[in-house]
Amino acid sequence: MTTTTTADRAVPAAGPPPEGSPDATAGASVVRMVAGLVGLAVTGYVMVTAFQAVVLFEMPKLAQVVVAVAAGVGGAMALFYFLNLLVEGFSRRWEERFKPYVFVLPAVAFLGLFLIYPTVGTFVYSFQNDDRTAWVGFENYTDVLGDTDFRETIVNNVLWIVIVPAVTVALGLLVATLADKLSARWEKIAKSVIFLPMAISFVGAATIWRFVYDQSTGDQQIGLLNGIVGALGFDPVSWLQFDSFNVNDMLLMVILVWLQTGFSMVLLSAAIKSVPEETLEAARIDGASELKTFFFVVVPQIRGTLITVFITVLILVMKVFDVVYVMTNGEYGTNVIGLEFFKQIFQFRNNGLASAIVVLLMLAVIPVLIYQVRHFKQEEATR
């Protein structure tokens, strides 16, 4: 019988574990997790430092833009890269479980920080006094709703809600229909001109329209409307102070309609072009006029888009602020809820009252949002 001594046995050579072995996989996972954690820490430090540099240090505007874009875009890319690296350090089973939540986490965190937290804080502040040092119950709400000026503000908002979305959708539908009849070249030109105001901010648009409604003190009128009135031999009119029959409110609404008609036109034009040609031909064969074909064939088929555009503009109108602030600052009976909140919190320092106004505005917007979500789900279910 032959015996084997220890010296005769093969001793494995020292060195790294072969690729694919459990030890190698575990080591690579640890390296990924460590690299991910270190990368996240460095990325967070760089982004915070860049933000502080933009806010605290005086630097040229161009440098601020470059730093903000580089830190924001580059930081976001690095953030998701290192998050992915960190999750890949787990086993395959846990990686598949964690990865969706990890990628959603930054968005949820920002929503919580900039949306949910302020909303809850505003609701709590609405039950406190002006400097938030004592609880006052529903006193802020009773003061707001019992104020005659605020009731006039609510009436103004109702007028905006009733008029602006309806006129915007009607004009957008009209322009989209007429532009659809043009040749391809002229259609593009017409739509570009109508859509152009969408590129202008609300403040910029209001500044432009101030020159339209302006009433100069001298003999020469620089305002477009008063220039026309003067050319016709009439005295200039203080358009923005003309509060009889809410004329000045209507003139302010024109600005928002001018801004949003292009948005309405683009969506409705796409909806009109998606209407099957067979349905139009069938209506014409049955003897329907072009007008009847439009109202009884085209409009019912684009009803979903009409509602979507109407609700989108409606939500925008409910929180309108910029146009009224620049044009009249709410004077001459043109105040709206958004501007009243701005005045209470920044001009009068009534934090509790301002919070109550915001809560009332949120309560008014929520039913509209619920209807929009339900409508969107119905549209998706029928596709």
Q: Which of 125, 153, 169 is the last residue of a domain?
A: 125
Q: Does residue 295 have a pLDDT over 70? A: yes
Query: Does 200 lie in the same domain as 56?
Result: no
For residue range 223-274, what is the model confidence (pLDDT) as tens digits? Answer: 889 888 888 888 888 898 887 888 899 999 999 999 999 999 999 999 999 9
Query: Does 164 lie in the same domain as 109?
Result: no
Does 3 fall in a domain?
A: no
Q: At what angle do helices 202-213 and 224-231 cross, to 10 degrees?
A: 20
Does 12 fall in a domain?
A: no
Model confidence band, residue 21 (pLDDT cutoffs 50, 70, 90): low
Query: Does 375 lie in the same domain as 253?
Result: yes
What pTM value is reported for the model? 0.75
Helix (H), strand (E) at residue 75 = helix 75-87
Query: Does 266 lie in the same domain as 210?
Result: yes
- Residue predicted with more confidence, 12 or 155: 155
Does 249 fall in a domain?
A: yes
Amino acid found at 167: V
Does 276 fall in a domain?
A: yes
> Among the listed ranges 28-42, 53-67, 158-172, which one has the minimum average pLDDT value?
53-67
The pLDDT value given to residue 206 = 93
Does 65 fall in a domain?
A: yes
Provide, rounded to the nearest whole percent, the portion of the chain with pLDDT above 70.
92
Does 168 fall in a domain?
A: yes
User: Which residue, among 290, 17, 35, 328, has the nearest Cα to 153 in the 3D structure?
Assistant: 328
Query: Does 332 lie in the same domain as 203?
Result: yes
Domain that holds residue 286: 140-382
The pLDDT value given to residue 63 = 86
Q: Does residue 11 have a pLDDT over 60? A: no
Q: Which of 102, 125, 148 is the last residue of a domain?
A: 125
Does 312 fall in a domain?
A: yes
Query: Does 146 lie in the same domain as 64?
Result: no
Q: Which of 96, 125, 154 is the last residue of a domain?
A: 125
Cβ-based neighbour number of residue 136 at 10 Å: 17
The enclosing domain of 183 has a CATH number of: 1.10.3720.10
Amino acid found at 69: V
Query: Does 222 lie in the same domain as 105?
Result: no
Query: Does 149 lie in the same domain as 100?
Result: no
For residue range 56-107, what is the model confidence (pLDDT) as tens digits? Answer: 877 788 888 888 888 888 988 898 888 888 888 888 888 888 888 888 888 8
Model confidence band, residue 112 (pLDDT cutoffs 50, 70, 90): confident
Query: Does 80 lie in the same domain as 150?
Result: no
Query: Does 145 lie in the same domain as 108?
Result: no
Query: At residue 148, what are phi and psi to the nearest 5 degrees?
Result: -65, -35
Does 44 fall in a domain?
A: yes
Query: Does 251 lie in the same domain as 314?
Result: yes
Number of domains forming the structure of the chain: 2
Query: Does 317 lie in the same domain as 191?
Result: yes
The pLDDT value given to residue 17 = 53
Q: Does residue 373 have a pLDDT over 90? A: no
Q: Does residue 138 have a pLDDT over 60? A: yes
Alpha-carbon gap, residue 120 to 355, rounded angstroms: 11
Q: Does residue 128 have a pLDDT over 70? A: yes
